[in-house]
Every structure is written in C-alpha cells, then in structure tokens.
Amino acid sequence: MVRSGGRGWYGQVVAAALGVTAVAALASFWSAQAGSADGGPGHAGASSPSATSSAHPGPKAAPVPAEIAHASDGGARAVNITIDDGPDPVWTPRVLEVLRDNGVKATFCMVGTQARAHPDLVRAVVAAGHRLCDHTVSHDVTMDHKSEAYQSQQILDAERMITEASGGVRPLYYRAPGGAFTPYSRHLAASHGMRPLGWNVDTKDFERPGTNAIVATVKNEISNGPTLLFHDAGGDRSQTVAALNEVLPWLKEQGYSFGFPVR
C-alpha cells in the first residue's frame, strides 16, 4: 500500500513537473540574483581545468561565504528541514506529500547520479518551491581524504547533473557526505554560489531506529540549532515519513516557523 499510494501521488507530481519549464527558468534567474544579493566574496580553490570546464554548465553563479551554514533565514524561531541522498522514486514523493500537507518548504541535498536518474523528481521538488543542494556525485564520506582534483570532480559534476536535471535551476548549497568538508571543498563550492551546509540535529533516521526514536531526537535536540537532517533515499524511509508527519505539526505547536538555511 505504501508503494501504490506513493506512486499515485508521484504521478501527479510528475505531471505537474513536466509543465514547469518556465518556472525552472525563472527560479534559475532568481537563484542567481539571490546569490548576488546575499553572497560575500568567495575563494576559488585550484582545480583541474578540464574537470571544471566540463562539469560546470555555463557561467558560475555569484560567490557566497565559504563558512558552513547552520542558521535559518527565517530568524531565531525558524527551523530548516533538510532532506538528503535522493531523489528516490518511492520515498521522495512521499516526503514531498508530507511537506505539502504541512505547508513546509525544505532543502533537498541530492546525489548527482540520483538526480540524473530521476529528473522528473528534481523538477517536482523545484516546482513545489523547495531548494536544491549539491551532495556530490557518489556520496563518498571519505572524500576529505582524497585529492583536490577528486573533490572538484565530485562537487562540480554533481552541480552539473542537478542543474541539468532540474531544467536549469542551480543548487544553492553544498553538503559534504557525512560532513567530510575540507577548506578546499568549502571554498570551491562557495565560489560556484553554493553555501556549505551543515546540520544541528541529526535524526539518525538513516539507521531506521524507529519512528518514536526519530521524533524524540528532534524534540530533545532542537535546542542545538535550527537545521534538521532527514533522508529520502538509501533504503526504506517509511519511518522518516511517519516521523515528519509528527514532527512538523509539533514544531508549529512549539511556535517554530520554517525557513531555508542562510546564504
């Protein structure tokens, strides 16, 4: 029942996404403007010229700060919902449905190969008003121990894959897999208009500890900061969907609003 219900709504999402070319183009323009307005000077790291030229689609976006972001653009009582590792054909539509039903916008940190495999879902995310985040090509949690050329390939190829899949909307953030940031990767991403993105509350939903445990983690750790980490891929995410159904209304009851990470 989970799969059939998810796919039923998924069909509606895909149908809507197919008509958002104009929206995607407008959002691309808005993204570039937002980077110009919000960003400070970036620091481009040295990278392989061939990797950079082949991976980046057109002119770079305006640079943004290279410090890892945690705060919300919605202020002190705002929460950032971030969703990692997708898009996934079963679970991303389910997550989108929960977010829609609760009137919440989120930031989707997408793996490049997943975005390339499911462009309809990338466009559905954009059409629903959510933001995109570069989560590298292959989600290598050891990339902080790899060469700068490898880091560049992982970040810039994923940026290209996501941008092409979305119909032209660039990712506004870069989240290193497992938090494996390096000074080089942060400055490279920032020079391409992608603010490095951290988190304050790791719900550990990836480990499938149970819906109640995921909800309890949010309630117990929300005082740590506003950016919450969830997943929509990497296996059965039914616990995540159920937890979001509980967590989002609870956060509203506590007086929280929802924003996006600062840029």
Annotated active-site positions, please? Answer: 84, 231
Read out DSSP for 112-166? HHHHHH-HHHHHHHHHTT-EEEE--SS--TTGGGS-HHHHHHHHHHHHHHHHHHH
- From the list 76, 77, 128, 70, the residue with the least C-alpha distance to 263 is 70
Vertex 70, ends 259 and 173: CA angle to 5°? Answer: 75
- Over the range 66-83, which residues count as b (16 or more CB within 10 Å of their CB) and which as e? bebbbbbebeeebbbbbb
State the number of CA atoms in the 13 A half-sphere of 90 facing the CB.
Answer: 12
Q: Is residue 184 a contact partner of residue 45, using CB atoms and an 8 Å limit?
A: yes
How many other C-beta atoms are found inside a 10 Å radius of the C-beta of residue 13? 22
Torsions phi, psi for 255 (to 5 deg)? 95, 10
Torsions phi, psi for 224 (to 5 deg)? -70, -25
Q: How far apart are CA 255 and CA 102, in angstroms?
A: 14
